[in-house]
Amino acid sequence: MYSISFQEDSLLPRERLVTEGVESLSNQELLAILLRTGTRQSTVFEIAQKVLSQLNSLTELKKMTLQELQSLSGIGRVKAIELQAMIELGHRIHKQETIEAESILSSQKLAKKMQQELGDKKQEHLVALYLNTQNQIIHQQTIFIGSATRSIAEPREILHYALKHMATSVILVHNHPSGSCQPSKEDLNMAKKLATVCNLVGLELKDFIIIGAYGYRHSVKEQEFEWLEPSYKWLQEA
């Protein structure tokens, strides 16, 4: 069984968190902080230990339903709801970290992912994906959400986040609410301008992807930005 004993300390968990850092706390101390209070029969530390002693691993805590959490001694409805919300938030944080740490295996895989995110947007979006030396996404930033009259951002806005996150390369993704993935004159001008600026500061503009309702196009390389044919054909009505 999964069990952790609480060692008496001159500092309470909250105080230890402040003075020694959250990493120094045991699972029991962290759970006690989240539970906040005990009952007339048990202290919050005893309740935390009872909860952990019923688990074979911490991952089982994520699988417990509200009813199962409430069945634990000292856990009422409010505490069960708070615990489940905390667990879900932790799960989402981990999921996002995993996504951001993914390597770019292929431009097609990335374009499909971004097409799902931006293909149905009613306004123009310009999204920058910042990569490290291992081609891992370390940050995704929406640079601009446009209107009918303006949709192009300045290079300095894109470079700001590259410097902030110490990126070595960037991929830009831009959607066309019209549905077309044909690059506009403005797209071409911005791509060329940004490639020049990136080159001056040692940042590689790895790709510029135009997203349409049913397809996408890549720009590529050699500073020429000749736009390729759609990576997959427009969907046709059957």
Band (101; pLDDT cuts 50, 70, 90):
low
Using a cut of 0.85, tell me whether the model's pTM lies above it.
no
- For residue 150, what pLDDT is reported? 55
**CA–CA gap between residue 171 and residue 208 (Å, rounded):** 6
- For residue 57, what pLDDT is reported? 82
Q: Considering the domain 107-227, what is its CATH architecture?
A: 3-Layer(aba) Sandwich (3.40)
Band (238; pLDDT cuts 50, 70, 90):
very low
- For residue 34, what pLDDT is reported? 87
Q: Map out the domains of the chain as residue ranges.
A: 13-100, 107-227
Whether the CB-CB separation of 191 and 219 falls below 8 Å is answered with: yes
Q: Note the pLDDT tens digit of each residue in 134-147.
A: 888 888 899 988 76
Fold of domain 13-100: DNA polymerase; domain 1 (1.10.150)
- For residue 130, what pLDDT is reported? 93
Which of 176, 183, 179, 170 is closest to 217 using CA atoms? 183
Q: Note the pLDDT tens digit of each residue in 178-228.
A: 888 788 888 888 888 888 888 889 999 888 888 887 777 766 443 344 443
Whether the per-residue pLDDT at 91 is higher than 90: the answer is no
- For residue 160, what pLDDT is reported? 92
Average pLDDT, integer, range 57-80: 84
Q: What b/e readout covers 26-53, taking b as 16+ CB neighbours within 10 angstroms?
A: bbbbebbbebeeeeeeeebbbbbbebbe
Q: How far is CA 164 from the centre of its chain?
A: 17
Band (170; pLDDT cuts 50, 70, 90):
very high
Answer yes or no: same fold for 13-100 and 107-227. no
- For residue 47, what pLDDT is reported? 86
Q: Note the pLDDT tens digit of each residue in 26-41.
A: 989 988 888 888 888 8
Average pLDDT, integer, range 77-91: 88
Which of 48, 28, 52 is closest to 39 using CA atoms? 48
Q: In degrees, to the nearest 5, what angle opens at C-alpha 88 toward C-alphas 86 and 91?
A: 110
**CA–CA gap between residue 94 and residue 152 (Å, rounded):** 33
- For residue 229, what pLDDT is reported? 38
**CA–CA gap between residue 19 and residue 103 (Å, rounded):** 37
- For residue 165, what pLDDT is reported? 92
